[in-house]
């Protein structure tokens, strides 16, 4: 569910905002009229801007508080959405707005507590009477409700942070099971290889002895041939026997070392990308993999090259971007070829961490667009990826997306990567 939310822009926020407004705003419309409903609308609309334009979420909560205070409204049902907003903010808002929106949510909870305690127009006639409170009673109610509001908002905000941290940096239960299975397989393969190397060491000693015999017989044959040609031939026969024996042992050594290699070091395929994504999540990079179109068979060499391009691109994202960066691998299977996109939002995450004047994110400037157009992204890793793509008739481009991050785009013609082309060649 969380992965589904992370991979879609605006849709989850819009659905949650609509649910909060229809439920809580409808109750406010019935009980207090349109003014209270507008307060609930402001709180519901704040859910739209939890991930993007996060400063608007704070502004809308403050607007809802101002509506309640200005019109001396009874506590609105929309205030129930503030703890839920704190949870969503803790899970999905970027820094520093995660903390700022948390403080604003606390303020919204305090406004609710003050509205209950000090609103002079509180009238509970719909429940059968009017509540009469003295000043001390109102202060006690305010302090009690304030502590409850702060505790509830803080608890849900922390739970939101724990949820997203567990998902991104620890992984889901499925991720951990896959990771543990891979570790178990590697442990078994390592134990097997250790036994093979023990046997190989014994075979190696035999080979050394055989080769020493070859050298000794060859040297003796040289001297014997000078005085007795027949003795030289006999020495050569011994050299040949020793060489054949050494060759046999070397073949045994080769087979022993490489036994099981086909199973343990089989080249990765695009079907292994989900496992790669899980491994990346284990080290802190949130990776998603998507396929579009009807898949066709690839020849083994091309599939390995494409996998290596994706792997190297993700390694670059992890190495050169701050924590919290997300990467998306999109593979489009086309009629005439294959397109691979590796996108990240590292620039966006880095920019969000820098607060400009007024507490807002640093704005984009025309210079940013110009630098993006003129900048040529290069490096030995990118050169290697480009060469891999070109070796199969493809091309690879790297482009900075203004304010977002980098996109690696690789295009391959079907004539260069499909299994049919491999068969034809």
Question: What are the tens digits of pLDDT across the range 12-34?
Answer: 888 889 999 999 989 999 988 89
Token pair 């343990």: residue: 264
Give me 326's structure tokens: 């997300």
To the question of pTM greater than 0.75 for the whole model, the response is no
Question: Which of 137, 170, 203 is where one domain is finished?
Answer: 170
Q: What is the pLDDT of residues 200-231, one digit of tens each?
A: 666 677 777 777 777 777 777 777 777 777 77
* Confidence at 127, pLDDT banded by 50, 70, 90: very low
**Residues 65, 185 share a domain:** no
User: In the chain, what's the furthest Cα-to-Cα distance?
Assistant: 133
In the three-class reduction of DSSP (H, G, I as helix; E, B as strand; rest coil), residue 53 is classed as coil
Question: Which of 225, 245, 264 is where one domain is finished?
Answer: 264
**Residues 139, 246 share a domain:** no
Cα 374-379-383 angle, rounded to 5 deg: 105
The stretch 337-359 carries a mean pLDDT of: 81
* Residue 349 scores a pLDDT above 90: no
The stretch 104-125 carries a mean pLDDT of: 77
Domain of residue 403: give its range: 270-424
By the 10 Å C-beta count (0-12 exposed, 13-18 middle, 19+ buried), 336 is classed as exposed
* Residue 331 scores a pLDDT above 90: yes
* Confidence at 332, pLDDT banded by 50, 70, 90: very high
**Residues 310, 327 share a domain:** yes
* Confidence at 351, pLDDT banded by 50, 70, 90: confident
**Residues 203, 159 share a domain:** no
CA dihedral angle for residue 159, residue 163, residue 164, residue 170, rounded to 10 degrees: 130
Q: What is the pLDDT of residues 292-313, one digit of tens each?
A: 999 999 988 889 889 999 999 9
d(CA 69, CA 159): 30
Q: Do the bridges between strand 395-401 and strand 337-344 make them parallel or antiparallel, or are there none, so unpaired?
A: unpaired
In the three-class reduction of DSSP (H, G, I as helix; E, B as strand; rest coil), residue 51 is classed as coil
**Residues 195, 258 share a domain:** yes
* Residue 123 scores a pLDDT above 50: no
**Residues 193, 294 share a domain:** no
d(CA 391, CA 299): 13
pLDDT at 202: 66
């Amino acid at each position: 569910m969380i992965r589904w939310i992370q991979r879609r822009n605006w849709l989850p926020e819009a659905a949650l905002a609509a649910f909060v407004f229809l439920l809580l705003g409808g109750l406010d419309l019935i009980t207090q009229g349109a003014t209270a409903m507008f307060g609930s609308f402001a709180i519901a609309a704040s859910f739209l801007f939890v991930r993007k334009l996060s400063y608007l979420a704070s502004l809308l909560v403050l607007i809802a508080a101002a509506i309640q205070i200005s019109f001396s409204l009874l506590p609105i049902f929309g205030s129930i959405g503030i703890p839920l907003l704190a949870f969503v903010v803790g899970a999905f808002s970027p820094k520093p707005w995660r903390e700022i929106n948390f403080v604003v949510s606390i303020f919204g909870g305090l406004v609710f507590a003050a509205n209950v305690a000090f609103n002079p127009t509180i009238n509970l006639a719909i429940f059968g009477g009017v509540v009469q409170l003295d000043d001390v009673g109102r202060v006690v109610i305010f302090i009690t409700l304030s502590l409850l509001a702060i505790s509830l908002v803080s608890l849900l905000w922390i739970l939101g942070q724990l949820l997203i941290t567990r998902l991104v940096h620890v992984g889901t239960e499925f991720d951990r099971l896959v990771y543990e299975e891979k570790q178990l397989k590697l442990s078994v393969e390592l134990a097997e290889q250790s036994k093979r190397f023990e046997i190989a060491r014994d075979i190696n000693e035999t080979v050394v002895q055989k080769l020493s015999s070859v050298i000794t017989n060859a040297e003796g044959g040289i001297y014997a041939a000078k005085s007795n040609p027949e003795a030289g031939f006999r020495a050569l026969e011994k050299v040949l026997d020793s060489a054949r024996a050494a060759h046999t042992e070397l073949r045994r050594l080769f087979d022993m070392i490489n036994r099981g290699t086909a199973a343990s070091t089989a080249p990765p395929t695009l079907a292994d990308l989900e496992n790669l994504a899980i491994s990346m999540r284990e080290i802190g990079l949130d990776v998603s993999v998507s396929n579009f179109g009807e898949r066709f068979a690839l020849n083994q060499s091309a599939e390995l090259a494409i996998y290596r391009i994706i792997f190297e691109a993700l390694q670059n994202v992890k190495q050169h971007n701050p924590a919290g960066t997300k990467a998306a691998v999109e593979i489009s299977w086309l009629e005439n070829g294959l397109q691979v996109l590796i996108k990240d939002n590292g620039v966006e995450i880095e920019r969000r961490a820098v607060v400009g004047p007024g507490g807002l994110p640093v704005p984009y400037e025309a210079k940013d667009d110009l630098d993006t157009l003129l900048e040529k992204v290069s490096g030995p890793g990118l050169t290697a990826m480009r060469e891999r793509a070109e070796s199969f008739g493809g091309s690879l481009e790297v482009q900075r997306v203004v304010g977002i991050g980098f996109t690696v785009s690789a295009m391959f013609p079907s004539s260069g990567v499909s299994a049919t082309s491999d068969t034809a060649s």
